[in-house]
Structure 1
Amino acid sequence: MHSLSPDRIDAPTVIDWLRDPDAVTVIDVRSPAEYETAHIAGSYNVPLNLLGDHAAQLAARLDRKVVLVCQSGTRAAEAQRRLTGVGAANLHVLGGGVPAYAAAGGEVIRGAARWSLERQVRLVAGSLVVAGVAAGLRVPRATLVAGGVGAGLTLSALTDTCTMGRILAALPHNRGPRERSVAEVIDQLPEGRRAA
């Protein structure tokens, strides 16, 4: 077993655990659109934005080993904090996310190509900085836009959250084919088996 830390694991470990799919539940906390683009075979999509208000309901369904997944590990770690806060245990974050799992040879289901939320954040933040600097050549105060974006990115790093990502996740392009209700999201999860 190649473990990064007790709660952060690497892709080969997840691949090994999934040899017995009844012993582990893989929860992908990315947006439905990101999940539709590429996801680990057998995983369940529980978007991080739904997890916030319904963590206790979700935790009640998690009675086995759980691997939390996103694009890089940041949102999965946030999901882990929220679920641990309501008493969930046996939670593990996949370091490197879905790309690391695919690179390790894990089975990934691919759908319609879309940009990841992290990539969209980089595009929007970079565009705002460039626009602020360019506008600042004519109106010096416009450089405050670039400073504001920089301050936002710094705060995002310090708090390990991403407000811009949450805003972008709410856009129709990032929601996937249709918005699912909380009940539908939770009801899709397996129940009744104990963690290994």
Structure 2
Amino acid sequence: MTLKTISPTQARKLADAGAILIDVREPREYARERISGSLSHPLSRMRQGNPDTQGAKKAVFLCASGARTNPKNPALAACVDCDAYVMEGGIIAWKRAGLPVEREERKPMSVLRQALLVAGALATAGYLLGTFVNPAWHLLSLLVGCGLLFSGTTNFCPMAFFVSLLPWNRNKPKLPGATGIGQFG
């Protein structure tokens, strides 16, 4: 079953009429920025239980950019017992449409963002060490580049996995609208 794709303004109208917005991003992403009143139900945890649609007759799925909420994803349609839609462009498009979001800058940085910072630092260190210490250090930059290519083609980031195991990523933030499903990281 293919879900109908709607614009952020259409999603806002549905939400104002009683539809539930279901944010499928990871908990740390949701904690930092979210649409007011949206429900956190990470896509990575869909198999562990269905979101509580709170009796809504319509549900709208959203993520950061629309990449995770594929309208052809059978897991999305199967996890709700009401009419379901996918919001085109995710929370990025929502903000571009001038619609409000709640932000909490002091919440933890997403694991993916942490992994990208580590990758950037390692690539830069490899370049500088290779230029000023020993050319063999350039292999570090090559390794990081290959890791990023692997992550981009497989949609699995080993560095993000290892970063998620760090102690500060093990604390589970309490999220407004959270479903109680296990947290990533």
When normalised by structure 2's length, the TM-score is: 0.67
Shift of 1:45: 1.0
Whether 1:108 and 2:104 are equivalent positions in the alignment is no
Q: How many residues align?
A: 173
Given that 1:68 and 1:91 are in contact with CA atoms closer than 8 Å, whether structure 2 keeps it comes out as yes
Q: Which runs of 5+ in 2 are unaligned?
A: none
* Residue 124 (structure 2) aligned to one of 122, 127, 130: 130
Corresponding position of 1:144 = 139
Corresponding position of 2:62 = 69
1:1-196 matches, cutoff 5 A:
7-21=4-18, 24-51=19-46, 53-54=47-48, 57-58=49-50, 65-77=58-70, 81=73, 83=75, 87-88=78-79, 91-114=84-107, 115=109, 119-137=113-131, 138-169=133-164, 171=166, 172-173=168-169, 177-178=173-174, 184-185=180-181
1:116-147 per-position Cα deviation (integer Å, ceiling 9, x unaligned): 55544432222221112122232333222222
Q: 1:32 to 1:7 in 2, by over 3 A?
A: same
1:133-170 per-position Cα deviation (integer Å, ceiling 9, x unaligned): 12223233322222222222222222344444454455
Amino acid at match of 1:152: G
Higher helix proportion, which one? 1
Shift of 1:80: 7.1
Question: 1:184 & 1:144 partners in 2: Cα distance?
Answer: 43
CA RMSD of superposed structures (Å): 3.8
Greater Cα offset, 35-44 or 156-165: 156-165
Shift of 1:30: 2.5
Q: Which runs of 5+ in 1 are unaligned?
A: 187-196
Q: 1:153 to 1:132 in 2, by over 3 A?
A: same
When normalised by structure 1's length, the TM-score is: 0.64
Question: 1:160 & 1:175 partners in 2: Cα distance?
Answer: 25
Amino acid at match of 1:135: L
